[in-house]
A and B are shown apart, each in its own frame.
Chain A
């Protein structure tokens, strides 16, 4: 989401880290901008999903129009990593090791029995749990056309 105060783009799932040290963080529905610290109300999921569907039909596919979790992506698609969930540190280190960082283009080769990704000229296999921590956006001119 975009911070309404400073305009910083950030992912709200990973934004809780900004709330570290706050005693109310647990059942708090506010999202804190990691850049300026402004606390905002996130748009509820169902509303967003509603809009997302609509976009899906209309949009010309560019790399930043919609965010999908990698484990929900169809195979044979070229995508760009947009965000990575960073709470689980040991999982994060594995994602760093394979280089699936924001900005990286990747291609999903298989989903079953495990996920197989092409990153650059290497292939990696990861399980569903790791795949679900990576957010991607399909790129225009992907394999489906």
Chain B
């Protein structure tokens, strides 16, 4: 048995045996992954998709393994791109071992997928995680009996404390290959068609033919593509089988299958699970408060105020950035680099590419390292805490109805909240939204009406001590957000969003978990965004050199005066495009120089918040949504932001509001 599987594993991944961790979202996969892998890990896009998959190495006993942390999935019938990736890892990568991680207290619901894995003839170990919460909830599970029922190893763990890890490692080390032969008959016309499809398929697939046949009958694109590669001649026969089912059956194939799996899972769970009462009254209550709009909105406000404004804005973007930028860069690094470059590179033009006012090092790297890195790090600390506590799904639920009006579902709240950290990164995260329509609308709104933390810091400083002005600014920007979202939802065609989300129990965030998540995100962010910053520096350098910059500033002077600003402000807007916050900082200088009055400040703040996204985000829009859409969004925003600023200026001056 051992030999057969060894050779099989060698056959497919010549270097290492692969262990794939699969399971529902939020069952602790990442924690287990980190427990297993330690230092070596990489996060990369799954080929042909935008989904991130983490891989790492683990030495267990004397053997090295490659461990893959797959995105959360509920079953083999996949809905989102993430689930597709997880599924493809299972059916294409021929894992040596699949660890199905479940939340033990919900065993009866998650067992259905274990059964599917067994039916697929994948070598599986079932890990019952969160045993601590399970015990607290008064659920008892007879693990030996479950092993007997399923004929696979079953281990109970608490991955956050390490309980059960030794046992799991031991089970992996001594894994002797699969001995289970699970088959759950579906019955009726579907079973008949399934049997016929199994006869059609040859042996070249890495998982059970039954699973391939099943997915083919479900009309799963990926699996049909796979069959097209291997046996194009049977595609039309499969289509006939599908028609045959459609002519008999009441419900789609995946529904019938889910029903049968559920029956079997209920039976097994009934044999091994016992429940008495338990529960955490306080957390239940708090959860209820978060979901009730009357109490939920104040809670949201408190979270935003302390988390974003105080911690990220004042401490991160203020104190820490001042220190790194002011002392470390301005005093030591920049002068040093300038000296080195001027002595090595003889041409002044080329020198300015590296160390000039907008040089690669003095602007690009400095921005990325001194300004963005600390802000983003602090933001991700807060975000990871919020995420780890289980608050985000409750926020999504709270806001779903409002978001439906602007063509989004509650899920979009995650990129939107991220946008307050960095819009560029948030635009990247819109990938996780299920439909193109939602991705497009959220990209537009992020670019238009969500100010990033760097920008927010400067704007709030500008508006400091002017409560009415702050109120007008926030009001106008929120109105624009809702109004444009509403219009976009009316105009952009496509499937209406639908919302479903699991609400995990509230938990105290774990420090180690928060730190690891922050670290991974900051690193990933840095790799994706640093190149864009460098590119922006090159653009600015070219712009200056060729005179395009001066030309554009002159062009901008008219519209800038139209919204009641002094012509000097034109430069601010152009800079705003290259770095949103930089534009805001320019505004700050203008105010200090006494060039702007209260009304002008509000108008400028509104215009800058709405104005074209920074160039990094522009490039990200293009990268994620394509050239046409990226440019189109930018044009729209260009005119729209000036339009709003014009109307606001007109209204304020004619109403005689003194700010």
Contact = CB atoms under 8 A, between A and B. Distances in A.
A99 B428 CA distance: 30
A112 B409 CA distance: 15
Interface in A123-142: 123-127, 129-130
A110 interface: yes
A17 interface: yes
Contacts of B292: 110
Contacts of B401: 113-114, 127
A17 B250 contact: yes
Given A92-B255, A101-B262, A125-B393, A113 B398 contact: yes
B396 interface: yes
Interface stretch (B6-14, B72-80, B203-211, B512-520): B72-80
A89 to B, nearest CB: 6
Contacts of B77: 93, 96
Interface stretch (B452-460, B496-504, B550-558, B585-593): B496-504
A121 B495 CA distance: 32
B258 A125 contact: no
Nearest to A125: B397
B500 A124 contact: yes
A127 B77 CA distance: 21
Contacts of B500: 94-95, 97-98, 124-127, 130
Interface in A73-131: 84, 86, 89-99, 101-104, 109-110, 112-114, 116, 119-127, 129-130
A53 interface: no
Nearest to B400: A114
A63 to B, nearest CB: 15
B247 A94 contact: no
A15 B79 contact: no
A18 interface: yes
B502 A34 contact: no
A84 to B, nearest CB: 7
A84 B52 CA distance: 34
B252 interface: yes
B404 interface: yes
Given A84-B255, A125-B501, A113 B397 contact: yes
Interface string B376-407: 00000000000000000100111111001000
B640 to A, nearest CB: 29
B109 A124 contact: no
B249 interface: yes
A113 to B, nearest CB: 5
Interface string B597-633: 0000000000000000000000000000000000000
B75 A116 contact: no
A85 to B, nearest CB: 10
Q: Is chain A's interface secondary structure helix, strand, loop, or mixed overall?
A: mixed
Contacts of B328: none
A109 B137 CA distance: 18
B488 interface: no
A59 to B, nearest CB: 26
* A15, A90, A113, A119 interface centre (most CB from chain B within 10 Å): A113
A98 B502 CA distance: 8
B250 A14 contact: yes
B262 A103 contact: yes
A110 B259 CA distance: 26
Nearest to B108: A120
Nearest to A33: B250
A21 B498 contact: no
B410 interface: yes
Contact of A116 (B109, B262, B503, B505): B503
Contacts of A127: 400-401, 404, 409-410, 498-500
A97 to B, nearest CB: 4
Nearest to B250: A34
Nearest to B279: A121
B139 interface: yes
Nearest to A15: B250
Contacts of B255: 84, 86, 92, 96
A120 B266 CA distance: 11
A15 B109 CA distance: 27
A89 B288 CA distance: 32
B291 A116 contact: yes
Contact of B499 (A14, A93, A125): A125
Contact of B498 (A10, A15, A90, A109): A90
B174 interface: no
Contacts of B396: 125
B343 interface: no
A97 B74 CA distance: 6
B499 A120 contact: no
Contacts of B250: 10, 14-15, 17-18, 34, 86
A20 interface: yes
B393 to A, nearest CB: 7
B79 A122 contact: no
Contacts of A112: 293
A102 B250 CA distance: 15
Nearest to B74: A97
A90 B77 CA distance: 11
A95 B252 CA distance: 13
Interface in A13-35: 14-15, 17-18, 20-21, 34
B293 A114 contact: no
Interface string B276-294: 0000000000011001110
A18 B245 CA distance: 10
Interface string B301-321: 000000000000000000000
Given A120-B109, A125-B393, A86 B498 contact: no
Nearest to A131: B500
16 contacts: A86-B250, A86-B252, A92-B254, A93-B79, A93-B254, A94-B500, A97-B74, A99-B112, A99-B262, A101-B259, A113-B401, A116-B503, A121-B139, A122-B109, A125-B400, A127-B498
8 interchain residue pairs of minimum CB distance? A34-B250, A125-B397, A127-B499, A123-B503, A97-B74, A86-B251, A96-B258, A126-B500
Interface of A: 10, 14-15, 17-18, 20-21, 34, 84, 86, 89-99, 101-104, 109-110, 112-114, 116, 119-127, 129-130
Given A17-B246, A18-B250, 11 more contacts: A10-B250, A91-B498, A95-B500, A101-B259, A103-B262, A113-B293, A113-B400, A114-B398, A114-B401, A125-B503, A126-B501
